[in-house]
């Protein structure tokens, strides 16, 4: 049995469908089984638990051969945070998996390091460190930004007025990978004993600026009609300070938006002490459109 913590999420859902389609027994861990109702099936069961509560993890892990951690506390319901979910929650899950004798696949982020400007990335690094210190044979999969998440966010912000919202200048190239490819990679890792103990970095075929991303989206059949609007950097800086005491999630998002607008998030940062897998699905593939003849596929090329 494969326990997927975060099985209701964007990646977890695709992974669940994929594993169930090949007849693997999947158990989804969620805080609210209603959120997983649509995933229930012949090969899929659902259990409730919260990674912040170690006791709630004992029963769900009984009989688990693999545990996939596809959780995140950057945003979402339930007062989550990167500290409580990506660091401490993962530590609880890793320890529970060790007691159950299960192999762990930890989803992390390309660039995970102790001094990264994004709190989420620092907390992923802390979880990686705990995993490596306690659980030989565990597998870490780091990914770049999920393409499908940003397609949805740009579409959502364009829903009113037809113009997607870009945070900052939108001229910083970022590597995007498709969740379909990351799910396929995890599926391979689960079946491959030689992947045990490795760190794999999943990067996509394109480094795109948000302006390029929004332009491609605009050219798709149900894409937004208008050119993007921008939240200026000074506004993001102000939000990151003013929102901190009352709406920490918003402050966190503003800080992350500033980082995404300024630091190197291309696939060039991948590779240190890791196996890099360059995955093929492009933004045009995700949108079901074709790339214009001769169009650059990489903002940095």
E strand or H helix that includes residue 2? strand 2-5
Kindly state whether residue 228 participates in binding ligand NAP, applying the rule CB under 6 A. no
Rounded Cα distance between 275 and 141, Å, is 10
Nearer to ligand NAP, 109 or 236 (CB): 109
Q: Which of residues 94-113 bind ligand NAP (CB under 6 A)?
A: 107, 109
Contacts of 124 (CB under 8 A, 6+ apart): 82, 86, 87, 108, 109, 112, 142
Interface residue with ligand NAP among 1, 100, 149, 276 (CB under 6 A) is 149
- Stretch near ligand NAP under the rule CB under 6 A, chosen from 111-119, 138-146, 236-244, 290-298: 138-146
Kindly state whether residue 51 participates in binding ligand NAP, applying the rule CB under 6 A. yes
Interface residue with ligand NAP among 3, 19, 68, 143 (CB under 6 A) is 143
Provide the minimum distance between the beta carbon of 51 and ligand NAP in the complex, in angstroms, as a whole number: 4
Kindly state whether residue 204 participates in binding ligand NAP, applying the rule CB under 6 A. no
DSSP string covering 106-165: EEEETT--TT-SSHHHHHHHHHHHHHHHH-TT-EEEEE-EEHHHHHHHHHHHHTTTT--E
- x/- track of binding to ligand NAP for residues 29-48 (CB under 6 A): -xxx--x-------------
Interface residue with ligand NAP among 3, 64, 70, 94 (CB under 6 A) is 70
Interface residue with ligand NAP among 16, 26, 52, 216 (CB under 6 A) is 52
Kindly state whether residue 76 participates in binding ligand NAP, applying the rule CB under 6 A. yes
Nearer to ligand NAP, 49 or 224 (CB): 49
177, 110 Cβ separation under 8 angstroms = no
Nearer to ligand NAP, 109 or 270 (CB): 109
Report in angstroms the alpha-carbon separations of 280 from 71, 182, 210, 211.
24, 10, 20, 21
Provide the minimum distance between the beta carbon of 285 and ligand NAP in the complex, in angstroms, as a whole number: 17
25, 2 Cβ separation under 8 angstroms = yes
188, 196 Cβ separation under 8 angstroms = no
Rounded to the nearest 10°, the torsion over CA 58, 64, 68, 69 is 0
Binding site for ligand NAP (CB under 6 A): 5-6, 8-12, 30-32, 35, 50-52, 70-73, 76, 80, 85, 89, 107, 109, 143, 145-146, 149
């Amino acid at each position: 049995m494969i326990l997927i913590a975060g099985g209701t999420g964007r990646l977890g859902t695709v992974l669940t469908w994929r594993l169930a389609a090949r007849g693997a027994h999947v158990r989804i861990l969620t805080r609210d089984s209603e959120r997983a109702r649509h995933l229930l099936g012949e090969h899929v069961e659902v259990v409730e638990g919260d990674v912040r509560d170690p006791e709630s993890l004992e029963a769900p892990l009984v009989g688990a051969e693999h545990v996939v951690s596809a959780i995140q506390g950057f945003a979402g319901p339930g007062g989550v945070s990167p500290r409580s979910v990506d660091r401490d929650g993962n530590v609880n899950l890793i320890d529970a998996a060790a007691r159950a004798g299960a192999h762990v696949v930890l989803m992390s982020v390309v660039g995970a390091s102790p001094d990264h400007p994004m709190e989420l990335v620092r907390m992923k690094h802390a979880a990686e460190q705990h995993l490596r210190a306690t659980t030989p044979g565990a597998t870490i999969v780091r990914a770049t930004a999920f393409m499908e998440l940003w397609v949805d966010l740009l579409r959502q912000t364009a829903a009113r007025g037809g113009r997607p919202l870009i945070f900052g200048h939108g001229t910083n190239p970022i590597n995007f990978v498709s969740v379909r490819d990351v799910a396929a990679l995890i599926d391979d890792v689960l079946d491959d004993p030689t992947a045990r103990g490795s760190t794999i970095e999943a990067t996509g075929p394109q480094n795109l600026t948000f302006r390029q991303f929004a332009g491609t989206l605009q050219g798709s059949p149900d894409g937004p009609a208008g050119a993007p609007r921008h939240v200026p950097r000074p506004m993001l800086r102000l939000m990151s300070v003013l929102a901190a005491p009352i709406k920490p999630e918003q402050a966190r998002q503003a800080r992350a938006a500033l980082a995404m607008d300024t630091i190197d998030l291309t696939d060039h940062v991948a590779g240190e002490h890791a196996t890099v897998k360059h995955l093929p699905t492009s933004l045009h593939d995700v949108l079901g459109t074709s790339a214009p003849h001769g169009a650059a596929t990489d903002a940095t090329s």
